Every structure is written in structure tokens, then in C-alpha cells.
Amino acid sequence: MVSQDVTNILCQSLMEGAILKSNMVNPGKSCNTKYTVDEIAIANLQVFRRCFPVAMVTANFLSGGQSLEAGTYTIPLLGST
């Protein structure tokens, strides 16, 4: 998973107390599988649980190219899952 590899490298180099502004994990443009916003939220949480250092204060998300509607629905799911 490319996003997981990139997030892992970034998190290893960040200092304690840093704030990460991360892109949303989304299927690639050539992916034929249609994922639900719930599945996308779960994929994002899986990447952060695998890579995110506990010393980080917060994570903030960019939409990662999602539509306004999809991003508005997905981001609250990250906080409630």
C-alpha cells in the first residue's frame, strides 16, 4: 500500500508533538473497485494505526481528491470508528 509506506516514512521522521496534515487514503484512479466511504474511513484508520507515533498530538486530513460530499461524510467517520 503506497499511502501506508509514505505515511510510515513521514511519521518516523517527525518530532514529538508535531501535527500531521495527511492526505486521505483513496483508491487509485485506475482502480475499478468502488469502495464505500465507510471502507475508505477504515482504510485510513488502518494506515494510521500501523504508522502513527503515539507522541503525535493530532492528525488533520486533506480530502485526497474526494468530492466535498464524500469528504464531509468520511472525515467524521474517522473520529467515531
Residues 32-41: pLDDT tens digits? 999 988 898 8
20 in Cβ contact with 56 (< 8 Å): yes
Using a cut of 0.95, tell me whether the model's pTM lies above it.
no
Q: Return the pLDDT at 64.
A: 66
Q: Domain limits of the chain?
A: 2-80
Of 29 and 18, the structure prediction assigns the larger pLDDT to 29
Q: Please confirm, yes or no, whether 29 is among the known catalytic residues.
A: no
Where residue 57 falls (left for φ over 0; alpha for ψ -120 to 50; beta otherwise) is: alpha
From the number of C-beta atoms within 10 Å of its C-beta (0-12, 13-18, 19+), residue 17 rates as exposed
Select which of 17, 21, 49, 60 is catalytic: 21
Q: Give 22-66 pLDDT, tens digit per residue.
A: 777 888 889 999 998 889 888 888 888 887 777 777 777 766 677
